[in-house]
Structure 1
């Protein structure tokens, strides 16, 4: 760790230098502001000990200049003539600590140690935040994806409620985080709650928290997800699965900004933005009295539709490249090359599981296929593996299963041969007329395969 001491008194500089070098720090010093700023820009020290009053320069002005150049610099101010006003100003400008002369050497060492520990924690936080941002990054270059990113940027600055609709695997959580990360709440918690993942009897205690003794097993109290999201964003995933009792309490949180923990009469005020998501038809649930109509309208202030992957297949190559890099790094193996024909083939798939299914397929390719180039035969082998595990275990009438097999097999062969009827007939040992008749019988549209 590099430390720069800035003081116009030589004896103070040497004393601090000696005690800090004993702690195994690399220490240098400057006796004036001009030299200090030059060294700071050249050496980029981890920490600066800066006197408030320098010969011909105010240390607080130098502090401001340092923070403008490199805002994450740790600075400890030292002074023998300043009061509370200067100390408060220094902290507001970004100083980590303020020490008064005559200096206590033990306090100096403690303050330096704390400043460096805090700096390391900040680095860890920044790395973690970068990882999280990367995890939640929306990947794609299609018109849909670009319009979605623009909508997120437009919606984020307000505190309006957002309801995200879409099939499973379409990235509803990514959209919610994107809104949070561009909002004024981005430095506060983003808390997730999935109603479908928790038994109904536990939803309220998990969401609103509980007091000690509220129920059997509640040996201590616990903050709920809503309390954890105070000043931040609460993402209510699968809101359509939430029971009516919890819905009523969520409605109160939205309307009044308050709630009570389970087992308590004490009202807790809360300031959180709520973003909800569902794959269900909420309008139908409202008609069937399984979802509160008033809550539906409270949540559906800004509706956002997460489209299925099959509606923006042009994003598939970009997503494959992203997941390929991800699994190459994770598994520590060379990146695989997906041939243009493979990309074209995968763009024709329906992907009922959407982006999540595509990610699983890329991961499976990285684990099960050894070659670095991925061709149609590799994809066909994985597809056959799916048939072995799912197709053969399904029980139905023999004639129906036979038709299903013929259709899947011929569709796959046509795809491998890029919809070329002559070539497909040749590799299968069939007459073109017989193959054409079979395709018509099985209602296979060769134009769709092309």
Structure 2
């Protein structure tokens, strides 16, 4: 049996040599060229079982060649490799019909694995690849680290699918940017992108916000209100902080995912849901499931394709390009141009970035706005980061336990320090109250062995008020606890 033939096009002779040797040792026949014209001639002549092509070549962009290849030989798989390791490159490759995208430098074992999968893949449908719109060259996501390359490849694969996605990551890592990229480069890009933050809406209003309401459904509902599902019809619905969704809304959302339809609050007529759902959370939802705070069946419905965004401290090599990008954006917004010297870059990379990319962006904007120097030195970075660290650092009491007010002040200062000069969440007041109320009620219930009458008296609350707070804060009540 004749071994498969792999066609390689790359203007870098060393790349051609390495690939030819590696593929030859694995039993493949190989033909290589430095230009797109020769590759196209081979394809037209019916040669080759697989194409591996670079993007930038002297005579033609490899991405522009893919649609032509797919038109004349739709079953010929094309693997794209490129040193331009950006999200747009990965997305363009997928949209033009590439089987896989590999950023340079790549692991040879990974390449051989991709070659094996491509040759073993069943024949594709004879549909012509969708011609994408001209991509916006402003990068929605920045970074060339290995972690970000995997995210780019996942997003690129999802541009031709309509699967539900769960994006997880710490606050400030860019979860909404991923959701927008999935929308902007996906099948529903002509439709609306609608975002809703579960943590920013009063719990009693979440169902009406999501599914809409009929006139008179509740106090203040003077007319019919469109919910986010209807607003996002034909597009993408981004459910941010899904872990903060109350149980009742979780049940209704699960029903939508199972049946593909919903009813408004106060309504009876089912409405067909026509949205792609992208959910996001900073919480550990598996732990929330174990604690009874999140439905396991809903989790698996949402977690069809998981994407984990790494914190900035796990991809410190991306900090320099991110910092330059944010300084460029500040300049475009009318602030003075700034550059970072080598020492300042090293200082930035050494920082732990508790506020992640958002914290870095806010720092760059602050540097552009407040400092007259054109070149930002390591001393300036050290001073800024020291000030932020001092604001976030715990303060040990001189003697005795730390006063409650001081502890609360310290935690609020730490939270705000991560969002300096930027938009912090719009529900800080409710978050802080909930963080204080929950342990207060829990400890009081523990002290009264779960007796709500005694706990209400100790707290100075009406018993019905206490019951409502227990329900709203999802506090477990067990009688007879020590």
| TM, length-normalised to structure 2 | 0.53
Report the secondary structure of 1:167's partner residue. Answer: coil
2:365 matches 1:363:
yes
Aligned counterparts, 1:25-64, within 5 A: none
Contact 2:347 2:382 in 1 (8 A): no
2:278 matches 1:275:
yes
Deviations 1:312-355 (A, max 9, x none): 1111110111100111121x233101001100110111101110
2:397 matches 1:396:
yes
1:210 is matched with 213
2:317 is matched with 314
2:56 is matched with none
1:372 is matched with 374
2:100 is matched with none
Distance change (3 Å), C-alpha of 1:168 and 1:267: same
Which structure 1 residue ranges, 4+ long, deviate > 6 Å from structure 2?
A: none
* C-alpha separation in 2, matches of 1:240 and 1:321: 34
Report the secondary structure of 1:291's partner residue. Answer: coil
Number of equivalent positions:
270
1:162 is matched with 165
1:385 is matched with 387
Aligned counterparts, 1:114-133, within 5 A: none
Distance change (3 Å), C-alpha of 1:390 and 1:138: closer
2:34 is matched with none
1:324 is matched with 327
Question: Residue 394 of structure 1: CA displacement?
Answer: 3.4
2:153 matches 1:187:
no
2:326 matches 1:339:
no
Question: Residue 363 of structure 1: CA displacement?
Answer: 1.2
2:300 is matched with 297
Decide which of 216, 237, 240 is 2:240's aligned counterpart: 237
Distance change (3 Å), C-alpha of 1:346 and 1:200: same
Distance change (3 Å), C-alpha of 1:201 and 1:159: same
Distance change (3 Å), C-alpha of 1:387 and 1:307: closer
2:108 is matched with none
Report the secondary structure of 1:314's partner residue. Answer: helix
* C-alpha separation in 1, matches of 2:387 and 2:350: 19
Question: Residue 144 of structure 1: CA displacement?
Answer: 1.8
- Structure 2: gaps of 5 or more residues: 1-132, 403-482
Question: Residue 168 of structure 1: CA displacement?
Answer: 0.8
2:264 matches 1:255:
no
Moved more, 238-247 or 208-217: 208-217
- RMSD over aligned Cα, in angstroms? 2.5
* C-alpha separation in 2, matches of 1:197 and 1:301: 25
1:221 is matched with 224
Distance change (3 Å), C-alpha of 1:336 and 1:398: farther
Deviations 1:189-247 (A, max 9, x none): 11111101111011111111111211111112111101111111111111100001001
Distance change (3 Å), C-alpha of 1:388 and 1:138: closer
1:288 is matched with 291
- Structure 1: gaps of 5 or more residues: 1-125, 402-450
* C-alpha separation in 2, matches of 1:358 and 1:369: 16
Contact 2:199 2:244 in 1 (8 A): yes
* C-alpha separation in 2, matches of 1:311 and 1:143: 10
Looking at secondary structure, tell me which structure has more helix per residue.
1
* C-alpha separation in 2, matches of 1:347 and 1:192: 32
* C-alpha separation in 2, matches of 1:305 and 1:166: 6
Question: Residue 398 of structure 1: CA displacement?
Answer: 7.5
Question: Residue 384 of structure 1: CA displacement?
Answer: 4.2
2:150 is matched with 147
Question: Residue 396 of structure 1: CA displacement?
Answer: 2.2
Distance change (3 Å), C-alpha of 1:389 and 1:183: closer
Contact 2:348 2:381 in 1 (8 A): no
Distance change (3 Å), C-alpha of 1:388 and 1:176: closer
Distance change (3 Å), C-alpha of 1:271 and 1:388: closer
Deviations 1:229-272 (A, max 9, x none): 11111111111000010011111111111111111112111111
* C-alpha separation in 2, matches of 1:347 and 1:385: 17
| TM, length-normalised to structure 1 | 0.57
Question: Residue 141 of structure 1: CA displacement?
Answer: 1.8
* C-alpha separation in 2, matches of 1:243 and 1:307: 27
Question: Residue 390 of structure 1: CA displacement?
Answer: 5.0
